[in-house]
Amino acid sequence: MTSLVVKCTWGAERPEALLQAFTVAATAAASGVEVSLWLTGDAVLQAVDGVEEVHLPHSPSIGELRETILASGTLTACAPCLLRRDLRPEDLLPGVRVAGSATFLEELLRPDARGLVY
């Protein structure tokens, strides 16, 4: 089975890019594709418990998309990106994994993997 690895490098400062990454990952997960969404840079803030919602017209809320991904796929926050923002694993929503570049590369370099970066 083909897996999809999506890397989101933008936070609320670029809501369209942020929501596109979440929308593609959630759509793939809901369709039965093995999905792994990686949050890097300010995108890691979308994994923090109690974060303010990001909204765009004609788009599901990021909270709805995140729930779909957590239910059917993997949501990972970049370990160094969290540290740079003084965040700890206990600050994150339940189900969010913390990992670094070695794990990202392991997922992305599998023969059946496809990758997208937003």
Q: What's the confidence (pLDDT) of residue 53?
A: 86
Regions of the chain with pLDDT less than 50: none
Q: What's the confidence (pLDDT) of residue 52?
A: 83
Q: What's the confidence (pLDDT) of residue 1?
A: 79
Which pTM was predicted?
0.95
The domain locations on the chain are 3-117
Q: Which structure tokens are listed for 63?
A: 């909270």
Per CATH, the homologous superfamily of domain 3-117 is: DsrEFH-like (3.40.1260.10)
Q: Which structure tokens are listed for 54?
A: 């990001």
